[in-house]
């Protein structure tokens, strides 16, 4: 089996003004993503998705250009089922042969950020082809299911203390969710105001609905610790991305992990993914496959 072509497409979908979301990332004017299509000579097609920025609103030229102009020539003619070898080729560039021979990395300068996002899009498409070639879903190739069902949570929660309960309960009612995640952080102005909103949310939800917070990495470590103390009684399932270092320093500063399990969704890059795996063993977390990589 050989790769015939690799083509990335920037998908840009404007959002009507009355449906635009405002957050610490600004007003979301459009939804943007990069779809990666890999065609093989035998007729199989794999699809992947790469992500340029948090929030879905971003220029995707650099991402599509990298895949179309830099990666596509390296992938054309290769066997798409050799996923590890191809991944190492994209990550290590001209030194990939060293990486494959020595079993350790010799990465290109762009070892994080948009380069890794571009590799993610290709990686997903290669796995899609492998699954289709074997007639099995990718989740089966990755080890199969661990459970018949998994709990899901609804994500949002931007309203002020007077409306946050109503907003989160709306998610519960609409989707039957047993847990909800709300935003806190820089847009609240002060951890005290964030804490007021969280207390209002917990009071409205009652003890049975799971509650998580996400600060999008906008707090200083001192602010994050202050916030944790203020919501100690709110029984948070986790506190996601408290500070810009995505939990590392926060963790080192010994905020009680039993009370404040952490997640780091925006972690990206090969070694950050490995660290994230370590984090998951101790706490909980989620990963965005469009912008992270194998551990
Ligand atoms: Mg997050």
pLDDT at 279: 44
| 283 alpha carbon – ligand 1 mean position (Å) | 15
Q: State how far Cα 29 lies from the chain centre.
A: 20
| 100 alpha carbon – ligand 1 mean position (Å) | 34
9 and 137 assigned to the same domain: yes
pLDDT at 190: 95
Q: Per DSSP, what are the bridge partners of residue 50?
A: 34
227-246-23-203 Cα dihedral, nearest 10 degrees: -40
| 261 alpha carbon – ligand 1 mean position (Å) | 14
- Is the pTM here over 0.85, yes or no? no
Q: 88, 112, 141 — which closes off a domain?
A: 141
Q: Is residue 162 part of a domain?
A: yes
Q: Is residue 270 part of a domain?
A: no
| 51 alpha carbon – ligand 1 mean position (Å) | 14
CATH code, domain with 51: 3.30.390.10
Q: Annotate 143-182 with DSSP letters as a single string.
A: T--S-S-----EEE----TTTHHHHHHHHHHHH--SEEEE
52 and 123 assigned to the same domain: yes
Q: Is residue 278 part of a domain?
A: no
| 216 alpha carbon – ligand 1 mean position (Å) | 5
10 and 98 assigned to the same domain: yes
Neighbours of 234 (CB within 10 A): 16
pLDDT at 22: 87
Q: Which domain holds residue 206?
A: 154-260
Q: How many domains does the chain have?
A: 2
60 and 125 assigned to the same domain: yes
Q: Is residue 285 part of a domain?
A: no
pLDDT along the chain (295 residues), means of 10: 97 94 88 96 97 79 96 98 96 93 90 91 98 96 90 94 97 94 96 98 97 94 93 94 70 59 56 48 53 52
Rounded-to-integer distance, Cα 37 and Cα 201, Å: 43
Q: Is residue 33 part of a domain?
A: yes
| 160 alpha carbon – ligand 1 mean position (Å) | 19
Q: Are strands 22-23 and 45-50 parallel, antiparallel or unpaired?
A: unpaired
12 and 122 assigned to the same domain: yes
CATH code, domain with 212: 3.20.20.120
127 and 229 assigned to the same domain: no
69 and 188 assigned to the same domain: no
pLDDT, tens digit (0-9, with 9 covering 90-100), for 276-292: 444 444 444 455 666 65
133 and 208 assigned to the same domain: no
pLDDT at 281: 46
């Amino acid at each position: 089996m050989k790769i015939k072509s690799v083509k990335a497409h920037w998908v840009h979908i404007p959002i009507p003004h009355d449906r635009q979301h405002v957050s610490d990332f600004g007003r979301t004017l459009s939804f943007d993503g990069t779809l990666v299509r890999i065609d093989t000579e035998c007729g199989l097609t794999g699809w992947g998705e790469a992500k340029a920025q948090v929030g879905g609103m971003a220029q995707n030229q650099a991402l599509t250009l990298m895949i179309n102009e830099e990666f596509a020539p390296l992938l054309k003619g290769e066997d798409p089922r050799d996923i590890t070898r191809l991944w190492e080729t994209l990550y290590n560039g001209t030194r990939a042969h060293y990486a494959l021979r020595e079993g350790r990395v010799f990465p290109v300068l762009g070892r994080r950020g948009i380069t890794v996002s571009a590799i993610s899009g290709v990686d997903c498409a290669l796995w899609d082809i492998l699954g289709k070639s074997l007639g099995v879903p990718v989740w089966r190739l990755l080890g199969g299911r661990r459970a018949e069902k998994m709990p899901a949570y609804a994500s949002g929660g931007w309203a002020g203390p007077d409306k946050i309960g109503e907003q989160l309960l709306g998610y519960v009612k609409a989707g039957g969710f047993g847990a909800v995640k709300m935003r806190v952080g820089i847009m609240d102005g002060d951890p005290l105001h964030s804490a007021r909103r969280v207390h209002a949310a917990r009071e409205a939800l009652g003890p049975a609905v799971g509650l998580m917070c996400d600060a999008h990495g906008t707090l200083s470590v001192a602010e994050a610790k202050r916030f944790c103390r203020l919501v100690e009684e709110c029984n948070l399932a986790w506190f996601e991305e408290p500070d810009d270092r995505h939990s590392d320093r926060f963790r080192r500063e010994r905020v009680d992990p039993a009370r404040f399990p952490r997640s780091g969704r925006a972690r990206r890059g090969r070694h950050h993914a490995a660290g994230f795996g370590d984090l998951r063993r101790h706490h909980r977390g989620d990963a965005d496959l469009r912008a992270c990589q194998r551990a």
